[in-house]
C-alpha cells in the first residue's frame, strides 16, 4: 500500500456515506494499516519540506482531530530526531563532536588530559624488590 492507494480508499469510504464518526474511524484504521505496512512511509526525514508534505497528506485524510494531532506530532518527532535541518540534530551533532574530541585528548600519549580539573588516579603494579619469609599463621587457639 502507498499514499495514492490510501487516498483512493479514503475517497471510496467518503462515497459510502457512513456516519461521520464511523467514517473517521475507518479512515484512521486505513491510515494505521498504511503507516505500519506502507511502502512509502517516512522513517527518516531529510528536510522540512518532506515533513510539511506528510503533514499536508495527514490533514487531507480528514481523520478525527485527536488522531490527526497525534499522528502529526509523531511525524514531527521523527523529523526532529532524524533530519539534518531540525533544531535538535545540529545540537546533537555538536555535543557528539565535543565528546569525541574530549576522548581523543584524554587518550593521547599518557592518558591524561589538561582539560580535566581534578585528581588523576594511576594504578601501578608494585613488585617487591625482595621477598619476605613470613611465618604461617597459628591456627590453634590458646586456652
Domain boundaries, the chain: 1-143
Q: At residue 116, does pLDDT exceed 60?
A: no
pLDDT in tens, 23-37: 899 999 999 999 998
Q: Name the residue with cell 471510496.
A: 12
Tell me how far apart the alpha carbons of residues 50 and 29 are, in angstroms, rounded to a whole number.
23
**3 state DSSP class of 63:** coil
The rounded percent of the chain whose pLDDT value lies above 90 is 24
pLDDT in tens, 53-108: 999 999 999 899 999 999 999 999 999 888 888 877 666 566 666 666 666 565 55
Q: At residue 47, does pLDDT exceed 60?
A: yes
Distance of CA 24 to the CA centre of its chain: 31
Q: What is the pLDDT, as a whole number, of residue 139?
A: 66
Tell me how far apart the alpha carbons of residues 68 and 31 are, in angstroms, rounded to a whole number.
10
The size of the chain, in residues, is 143
Amino acid at each position: 500500500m502507498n499514499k495514492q492507494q490510501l487516498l483512493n480508499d479514503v475517497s471510496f469510504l467518503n462515497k459510502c456515506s457512513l456516519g461521520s464518526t464511523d467514517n473517521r474511524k475507518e479512515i484512521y484504521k486505513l491510515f494505521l494499516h498504511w503507516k505500519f505496512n506502507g511502502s512509502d512511509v517516512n522513517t527518516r526525514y531529510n528536510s522540512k519540506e518532506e515533513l510539511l508534505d506528510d503533514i499536508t497528506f495527514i490533514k487531507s485524510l480528514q481523520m478525527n482531530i485527536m488522531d490527526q494531532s497525534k499522528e502529526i506530532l509523531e511525524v514531527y518527532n521523527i523529523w526532529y530526531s532524524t533530519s539534518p535541518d531540525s533544531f535538535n540534530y545540529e545540537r546533537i551533532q555538536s555535543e557528539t563532536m565535543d565528546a569525541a574530541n574530549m576522548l581523543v585528548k584524554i587518550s593521547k600519549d599518557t592518558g591524561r588530559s589538561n582539560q580535566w580539573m581534578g585528581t588523576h588516579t594511576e594504578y601501578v603494579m608494585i613488585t617487591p624488590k625482595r621477598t619476605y619469609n613470613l611465618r604461617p599463621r597459628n591456627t590453634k587457639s590458646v586456652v
